[in-house]
Structure 1
Amino acid sequence: MDWLPLLSTLAGAAIGIVATLIADRNRWKREDDKEALRLRLDIYTQYTSTVKVLGETLRALAGRDHPSDDARAFALREAFRESGIATASERMWLIAPEPVVKASNNVFHCLRRICDGYAAGTALGSTEDRAAGKHAAKPPPTCANSCARTSASAPSPNATPAPSTPTPPPRRTHTCGGWTSAPPLRR
């Protein structure tokens, strides 16, 4: 009996099975990465929407007339509790990378300070209100931009680009938790 055709058939079948397993594993990994990205984008969208709605609600409540200062403080704090910002923050803590969590935590505490300021009687559009808004837009005071770094994929801001190639702006992050632009999402 000739064993060569039988061995070549078995070797071909083994190669086919291994190739199929590798292809299935790669397909599963791509689908898993897509699902993780979709989940992160959903959580980022929910958090951003919640922050926007809460900010608008706080400003609207601060601009209304209330029977007393206590009623105003109660309405503001109740709006903060019912906004869903705590749940959105917790979902962010579970899924997002650490720099995004730090940035979202800064936003959460900033909104909390704004709510407490309005509850304490800060008038909408007052000097203190505008100062709080300016403070919220700046990186944390411990940063002083000394921790800023530019990613390797972006050109340095001092480099002169080739005239025919449009240069994207550099992506800067602060390791202390403040972001001047969002981190790139991996695909």
Structure 2
Amino acid sequence: MQWSTLAATAVGTVLGVLATLVADHVRWRRDRSERDRDTLRAAFTEYLTALSTAKDAFSRAETSPERIGKGHVAIAEHGVYAARQQLELVAQRVIFDSAGRATLSVLDFHDAVAAGHATNSPEYVNAWRSARQTRAALIEEMRKVLQRS
């Protein structure tokens, strides 16, 4: 048997094994990236749902001057803080910071409603608009992160 045949067979085997390992590694990275994106998407959806539920509930709430400044209790009842803590674990800092701004804007909206401002008053409209704009900015940041990952 010739040495060149054995060497070619050995080199071919090594190259085949290396190609398989590289392909497996690429597949593993792609699968991991997809799982990470799914995890982020689920956390984003949970937070946005909780935030929207709280804002919708606040828009239907009755005036209650003693509730002004106590929106953090009401917002916790809708799971916003729990969903935000989950974001802190899985999302980038920019998302967590934007979520904090969105939470604060919904708290400001709560206070405008609790203070008894009419739906056409400047205070109510400004609080509602601010909550909508911070939520839109957060969603844009979330989309960017999902596209990159």
* Structure holding more helix per residue: 2
**By how many angstroms is 1:124 displaced?**
4.3
Are 1:130 and 2:92 counterparts?
no
Asked if the contact 2:40–2:91 (Cα under 8 Å) also holds between the matched residues in 1, the reply is yes
Deviation digits for residues 110-164 of structure 1 (CA, Å, limit 9, x no counterpart): 1122223334x2334151212322344557xxxxxxxxxxxxxxxxxxxxxxxxx
**Comparing 34-43 with 91-100, which one deviates more in the overlay?**
91-100
Partner of 1:92: 87
Tell me what 2:36 maps to.
36
- Between 6-15 and 129-138, report the one with greater CA deviation: 129-138
In 2, the alpha carbon distance for the partners of 1:5 and 1:75 equals 81
Kindly state the Cα deviation for residue 78 of structure 1 after the two structures are TM-superposed. Answer: 4.2
Equivalence for 2:23: 23
For 2:124, the aligned partner's letter is D
TM-score, normalisation: structure 1: 0.64
CA gap 1:57/1:75 in 2 versus in 1, 3 angstroms: farther
Task: Name 1:171's counterpart in structure 2.
Answer: none
Secondary structure in structure 1 of the residue aligned to 2:47: helix
Alignment of 1:52-91 (within 5 A): 52-62=52-62, 69-70=65-66, 78-91=73-86
Q: Which secondary structure state, in structure 2, belongs to the residue aligned with residue 61 of structure 1?
A: coil
User: Offset at 1:56?
Assistant: 0.8
Larger RCO, structures 1/2 (Cα 8 Å, 6+ apart):
2
Distance in 2, Cα, partners of 1:96 & 1:42: 11
- The aligned counterpart of 1:4 is 4
Count of matched residue pairs: 143
CA contact (8 A) 1:62 1:124 kept: no
C-alpha distance in 2 between matches for 1:124 and 1:50: 24
Contact 2:51 2:80 in 1 (8 A): yes
Q: TM-score w.r.t. structure 2 length?
A: 0.78
Q: Contact between 1:59 and 1:124, CA under 8 Å: does it hold in 2?
A: no
Distance in 1 between the 2:47 and 2:34 partners? 20
Any stretches of 5+ residues in structure 2 without a counterpart? Answer: none
Please name the residue that 2:113 is paired with. 118
Q: Percent identity, aligned pairs only?
A: 21
Cα shift at 1:74? 10
Which amino acid counterpart does residue 42 of structure 1 have in structure 2?
Answer: A
Quick check: 22-31 or 77-86, which moved more? Answer: 77-86
Residue 148 of structure 2 aligns to a residue whose secondary structure is: coil
| Contact persistence 1:58–1:76 (CA under 8 A) | no
Go from structure 1 to structure 2 and tell me whether the alpha carbon gap of 1:124 and 1:56 turns closer, same or farther (over 3 Å shift).
farther
- How far residue 69 of structure 1 moved from its aligned partner, in angstroms, is 4.5
Unaligned 5+ runs, structure 1: 140-177
